[in-house]
Chain A
């Protein structure tokens, strides 16, 4: 063991991650070349150009990675809290000392470079949360523990929201996926997914008439989903009494079919009213069972059903009466209900850029959509358009597969960790990465709302690149430390 302990951690670093990191950086730099230069430009390496600067940021990143690999891994855990609180202070003061850039106050100027503390706060939060969960006997199942963990995540979230960088703040939601792995009840994750599904389906299809009835598709589908979820939950959480689930399944199906057929064949009406009535009966039934059996599960499922139903109607109300116009527009544009000129224009140009790439793309430096500024933020948030336009389906799908490979490799490495600290930190890294890719690619392909967050390793700028380098190499160093032991 003494021998292993002396091996330079560089040689114990995971080769796959390093390779994927290098490939993504190279691809990213090429994309910045494509996005920020005009056709015919060749001055990729001059300091004055964005590509030249990006090359410097990349060099700094590699240097930073090297330094991180040299640091003793136990320092990370030791200094996690200090690092975290220091970052929180920086985040707190940022809005007061930062310049206003497009309405957000999140950039601090340090001589020639501007840094975005939010990018580094992700790493600090990851370290702090890993250290917290690493405590002996800590389980997220205990409410007090969960609240502590949630506090660590929500504090930077709130501070970043104060800088008016909602996109960067949303990234902190990624930690909940890690919480799930560490024991947070799956039902919380499920509720979150269900809420998104209700919202997208309920609002997105609220204007499509349901054939054969006078109602709309959205409301019908959501009410049907609630019934299916409740039936499924009853079956899963109360396995010893399957008759309840059976009753719900058969009665719900019967009500649904009879109502639909009646509307279709005899008198058309809005069958959502029937389903809503059934929904209330279902909630009452579960409540009655709870009173009879005194099983907490009945109550929880009943509350889920009630919450779901309330969410459906409240979200509709909130959209139309509570939200501000621009917020409503953004959501409506995303769900395809409305055309907002600016938001729709950007997403549309982005889709045109990607769609025009075809199979093989237009070739390096030949993308017209990005070269001629049709795509907004073409070398930062919308950088993926350049990949899609110039490298085509092969290139853009390739990039996605590279990200997937990196995420899965990180998952494998995280699971191999012998310390909870290492594993939690690994999950933090991969969840943040996944969230960035999820939102960014979803945004440029028109599947997710326009939330301005960068594509890791691709988007122009030092902060984002260094933030991810920090995350990745600290984890690599922890992983190398595991191998030395």
Chain B
């Protein structure tokens, strides 16, 4: 048979088609497999369900290892919307004790993009948090009937007592800002909201673990991946030991009951805060469970401000408790010497300005001036300093120097305590007055700053720190409430001395003055037999009744505690400040109060101050 050659060339076309098809497909494979990692990630997210294992949160203890905060398991009901179908809604609602309307509302909330911007149909979403144990056990029995629902075990914080709410803070669900700022958090996670729970969040939280589960196309688990080779074990959070003394804290909170104010005690040799009470306060146990957000809303609207930690957020005129700093500045700057005397004729009188004082001998030197809390002495001191053009060149320069001294003593800026929300207080500088008075000001214009009034404000913490600095004769450690993290020392930040600009030798005169105040001056009530207590009262003027303040430390040599007490509208420093401070010192030094002191403490516990100007603003009810 003859071979037909006429169409033989067409074999190249056919071969060419085959080569073209295969080439096209190889190029296609190249683009699918080698040009991007996208498909790999999508395959992984298909197949691997990463189950988070939550670490237990670190415990919180007081300085004597007495437990303050611990964990208890709680159960959250989660739902995968994609798998959730064909369930008996009525049975479901009855089991966990909600109404059908609530059920519908919760389902709608989960899908609401405004409430859950990261909502996904095929990952577990929080349906209901912290269900009660009895409801949980009922629910778990019926779980197999509720497609798409699961239970997630979480730990919730429990408190051994009702104290220290402002220091301990609390834990709540993360908000969108938390999620945006730290990738660690996912919707529904918990984060420290206030107090050390917030400032030591990274220490307390630990690290989440992960269990990789293979998931087939129907969402069914196909066991762990590679026998858990790539699983990550959770790292439990580390425990915090606070520097707070539980007993002292308890006493401080008791003493402030029915009043507004704060008590801060610091161990001068370390900067550790021994107690930090702010009143009014609240019981942290009340914030547990489902009622949390409602309760917080109530407290936020309370005009008394129970959420406010006055010890670090309250800005008060320090009043006479400020005078020791003025003496120190005067001595250091050579404005006064220990023997310098100033006249006091029931106050400071100059060019028609009168600033009152109470009766005492005149003229008066520094030590007795502190003892009797002479206003005139410190006014003259500031006059001399600000008027010393020869030394400083101008009032402004003198003021700058004055401010620098106070800043070195811890005023005017945040001290940097390991709690969130600290306020910086106010130490005015020359620019401030230049602006306020259009450069037309002098020492007389601002004279009240010398006695801790006027524009000067400070937090009770700063006052306690001032006291600790005096007790240490010229240095302080940044106050802190955490003693150690699971046996490890805290950050060196809290272990470095901060020296003031004043020579330690000048401190002895201030200490002597504060000792004299206790022995025969304004704070006789602070005298404790057998202990050399040093103190300084403060009676800070304000719009209403004067604020009652006190700073003091003991013993005079090798001091163990420095305390600041501030009671809003408490009247004279001796009314509340001195006895409260004294009780704190006694309690700390002796570990307990003698019966007399105990009776006094009980009396103060039941003494209330009324605050008519803080109007109770009742939220309108529908």
Instruction: Give residues in A with beta carbon < 8 Å to B.
Output: 38-39, 136, 177, 180-183, 186, 349, 351-359, 368-369, 371-374, 388-389, 392-393, 396-397, 400-401, 403-404, 407-408, 411, 414-415, 418-420, 427, 430-431, 434, 437-438, 441-442, 445, 447
| Complex alpha-carbon distance, A476 and B38, angstroms | 45
* Contact (Cβ within 8 A) B15 A408: yes
Q: Which residues of B contact A407 (CB under 8 A)?
A: 18
Q: Which of B14, B19, B26, B44 contacts A181 (CB 8 A)?
A: B14
Q: Which residues of A contact B6 (CB under 8 A)?
A: 183
| Complex alpha-carbon distance, A411 and B17, angstroms | 12
Given A356-B40, A372-B217, A393-B33, A420 and B47 contact (CB-CB distance below 8 Å): no
B312 CB to closest chain A CB (Å) equals 53
* Contact (Cβ within 8 A) B26 A397: yes
Q: Which of B1, B15, B24, B33 contacts A354 (CB 8 A)?
A: B33
| Complex alpha-carbon distance, A186 and B7, angstroms | 11
Q: Which residues of A contact B10 (CB under 8 A)?
A: 180-181, 186
Chosen A-B contacts, 16 in total, with CB atoms closer than 8 Å, are A351-B32, A351-B39, A356-B44, A369-B43, A372-B46, A372-B47, A374-B46, A374-B217, A388-B33, A393-B30, A397-B29, A400-B22, A408-B15, A415-B11, A441-B25, A445-B29
Q: Which residues of A contact B440 (CB under 8 A)?
A: none
Given A372-B217, A408-B15, A354 and B29 contact (CB-CB distance below 8 Å): yes
| Complex alpha-carbon distance, A388 and B28, angstroms | 12
* Contact (Cβ within 8 A) A356 B42: yes
| Complex alpha-carbon distance, A379 and B29, angstroms | 19
Residue ID in chain A nearest B1 by CB atoms = A419
| Complex alpha-carbon distance, A373 and B32, angstroms | 20
| Complex alpha-carbon distance, A480 and B24, angstroms | 34
Given A39-B214, A372-B47, A396 and B4 contact (CB-CB distance below 8 Å): no
A38 CB to closest chain B CB (Å) equals 7
Q: Which residues of A contact B7 (CB under 8 A)?
A: 181-183
Q: Which residues of B contact A368 (CB under 8 A)?
A: 43-44, 46-48, 214
* Contact (Cβ within 8 A) A393 B21: no
Given contacts A136-B1, A358-B33, A397-B26, 6 further A-B contacts (CB under 8 A): A372-B217, A397-B30, A400-B29, A408-B15, A408-B18, A411-B14
| Complex alpha-carbon distance, A218 and B328, angstroms | 89
Given A393-B34, A404-B18, A420-B4, A369 and B26 contact (CB-CB distance below 8 Å): no
Tell yes or no: B603 within 8 A of A by CB.
no
Interface residues on B, range: 35 or more
A467 CB to closest chain B CB (Å) equals 20
Q: Which residues of B contact A392 (CB under 8 A)?
A: 33
Q: Which residues of A contact B30 (CB under 8 A)?
A: 393, 397
Q: Which residues of A contact B21 (CB under 8 A)?
A: 434, 437-438
Given A355-B40, A420-B1, A180 and B13 contact (CB-CB distance below 8 Å): yes
Interface string of B25-66 (1 = CB under 8 A from A): 110111011101011101110111000000000000000000
* Contact (Cβ within 8 A) B42 A358: no
| Complex alpha-carbon distance, A39 and B223, angstroms | 10
| Complex alpha-carbon distance, A354 and B48, angstroms | 17
Tell yes or no: B222 within 8 A of A by CB.
yes
Q: Which residues of A contact B8 (CB under 8 A)?
A: 415
Tell yes or no: B3 within 8 A of A by CB.
yes
* Contact (Cβ within 8 A) B11 A374: no
Q: Which residues of B contact A434 (CB under 8 A)?
A: 17-18, 21
Q: Which of A136, A353, A420 contacts B43 (CB 8 A)?
A: A353
Q: Which residues of B contact A181 (CB under 8 A)?
A: 7, 10-11, 14
* Contact (Cβ within 8 A) A445 B28: yes
* Contact (Cβ within 8 A) A372 B11: no
Tell yes or no: B216 within 8 A of A by CB.
yes
Q: Which residues of A contact B1 (CB under 8 A)?
A: 136, 418-420
B245 CB to closest chain A CB (Å) equals 57
* Contact (Cβ within 8 A) A396 B22: no
Residue ID in chain B nearest A438 by CB atoms = B21
A369 CB to closest chain B CB (Å) equals 5
A399 CB to closest chain B CB (Å) equals 10
Residue ID in chain B nearest A393 by CB atoms = B33
Q: Which residues of A contact B215 (CB under 8 A)?
A: 372
Residue ID in chain B nearest A138 by CB atoms = B4
* Contact (Cβ within 8 A) B214 A180: no
| Complex alpha-carbon distance, A389 and B218, angstroms | 20
A-B contact count (CB 8 A): 133
Residue ID in chain B nearest A134 by CB atoms = B1
Which residues of chain B in 550-605 are interfacial with respect to chain A, using CB atoms and an 8 Å cutoff? none
| Complex alpha-carbon distance, A419 and B2, angstroms | 8
A414 CB to closest chain B CB (Å) equals 8
| Complex alpha-carbon distance, A181 and B17, angstroms | 12
Q: Which residues of B contact A415 (CB under 8 A)?
A: 8, 11
| Complex alpha-carbon distance, A229 and B564, angstroms | 97
| Complex alpha-carbon distance, A152 and B26, angstroms | 34
Q: Which residues of A contact B28 (CB under 8 A)?
A: 445, 447
Q: Which residues of A contact B29 (CB under 8 A)?
A: 354, 388, 393, 396-397, 400, 445
| Complex alpha-carbon distance, A374 and B215, angstroms | 10
Q: Which residues of B contact A349 (CB under 8 A)?
A: 46
A396 CB to closest chain B CB (Å) equals 5
| Complex alpha-carbon distance, A356 and B25, angstroms | 17
Residue ID in chain A nearest B38 by CB atoms = A355
| Complex alpha-carbon distance, A411 and B16, angstroms | 11
B567 CB to closest chain A CB (Å) equals 67
Q: Which residues of B contact A352 (CB under 8 A)?
A: 39, 42-43, 46
Q: Which residues of B contact A447 (CB under 8 A)?
A: 24-25, 28
* Contact (Cβ within 8 A) A418 B18: no
Q: Which residues of B contact A411 (CB under 8 A)?
A: 11, 14-15, 18
| Complex alpha-carbon distance, A354 and B40, angstroms | 9
* Contact (Cβ within 8 A) A177 B217: no
A415 CB to closest chain B CB (Å) equals 5
| Complex alpha-carbon distance, A438 and B28, angstroms | 13
Given A183-B6, A393-B34, A354 and B18 contact (CB-CB distance below 8 Å): no
Q: Which residues of A contact B3 (CB under 8 A)?
A: 418
Residue ID in chain A nearest B36 by CB atoms = A355
Q: Which residues of B contact A182 (CB under 8 A)?
A: 7
* Contact (Cβ within 8 A) B18 A445: no
- Most A C-beta atoms less than 10 A away, residue of B3, B4, B32, B48: B32
| Complex alpha-carbon distance, A119 and B1, angstroms | 32
Residue ID in chain A nearest B35 by CB atoms = A355
| Complex alpha-carbon distance, A434 and B215, angstroms | 37
Residue ID in chain A nearest B15 by CB atoms = A411
* Contact (Cβ within 8 A) B33 A404: no
A169 CB to closest chain B CB (Å) equals 20
| Complex alpha-carbon distance, A354 and B20, angstroms | 21
Q: Which residues of B contact A419 (CB under 8 A)?
A: 1
Given A183-B6, A354-B39, A403 and B33 contact (CB-CB distance below 8 Å): no
* Contact (Cβ within 8 A) A355 B32: yes
| Complex alpha-carbon distance, A354 and B24, angstroms | 16
Q: Which residues of B contact A427 (CB under 8 A)?
A: 14
* Contact (Cβ within 8 A) A403 B47: no
Q: Which 9 A-B pairs have the closest CB atoms?
A: A355-B39, A356-B43, A368-B47, A372-B216, A355-B32, A404-B22, A373-B217, A356-B40, A393-B33
| Complex alpha-carbon distance, A39 and B44, angstroms | 15
Residue ID in chain B nearest A133 by CB atoms = B4
| Complex alpha-carbon distance, A144 and B17, angstroms | 28
| Complex alpha-carbon distance, A393 and B25, angstroms | 11
Residue ID in chain A nearest B32 by CB atoms = A355
A289 CB to closest chain B CB (Å) equals 29
B66 CB to closest chain A CB (Å) equals 51
| Complex alpha-carbon distance, A117 and B22, angstroms | 29
A434 CB to closest chain B CB (Å) equals 5
Residue ID in chain B nearest A445 by CB atoms = B28
Residue ID in chain B nearest A366 by CB atoms = B226
| Complex alpha-carbon distance, A404 and B4, angstroms | 26
Q: Which residues of A contact B32 (CB under 8 A)?
A: 351, 354-355, 388, 445
* Contact (Cβ within 8 A) B34 A358: yes
A459 CB to closest chain B CB (Å) equals 17
* Contact (Cβ within 8 A) A177 B17: yes
